[in-house]
Amino acid sequence: MSSEHVRKGVTNAKFNEEQSNILFIEIGILSILIGLMSKSWWAFGGSFLGLIFSLRIKFLAIPLMIVFSLVWGAIGYSIGALFESTAASIVLGIIAFLSGLGTHFAAVQWANDIAE
């Protein structure tokens, strides 16, 4: 194994770790909203732990990452709407969705690396 491969691996691991912060903040916000809407600490704790554990189960993690990315796409679309342009809304929505998707899957990769 060359030093080049090791350097690339370390760089990738650092990038994935940075992306995981965003994912865990999103999970925290969603859990808080669920807890507040249901007025239950149990709902907050259950959703928080459930979402964290779902990162380890591939068939749950992928749809979860897509849903979180769709939210980012909707935010991008809304920002584009401020320019009163359909094209800007669509372009910013797509960019935000794809950026969110990359960020979320990097975070899931980091979570899986840490759990092993």
How high is the pLDDT of residue 1? 66
Contacting residues for 32 by C-beta, under 8 A, at least 6 apart: 44
pLDDT (tens digit, 9 = 90+) per residue, 1-12?
677 777 766 776
For residue 12, what pLDDT is reported? Answer: 66
Given a cut of 80, whether residue 82 has pLDDT beyond it is yes
pLDDT at 63: 93
pLDDT, position 19: 76
76 has pLDDT over 90: yes
The arithmetic mean of pLDDT across residues 17-40, rounded, is 91
Tell me the average pLDDT across 93-103: 95
* Residue tagged 């808080």 (tokens): 32
Where do the domains of the chain lie? 3-115
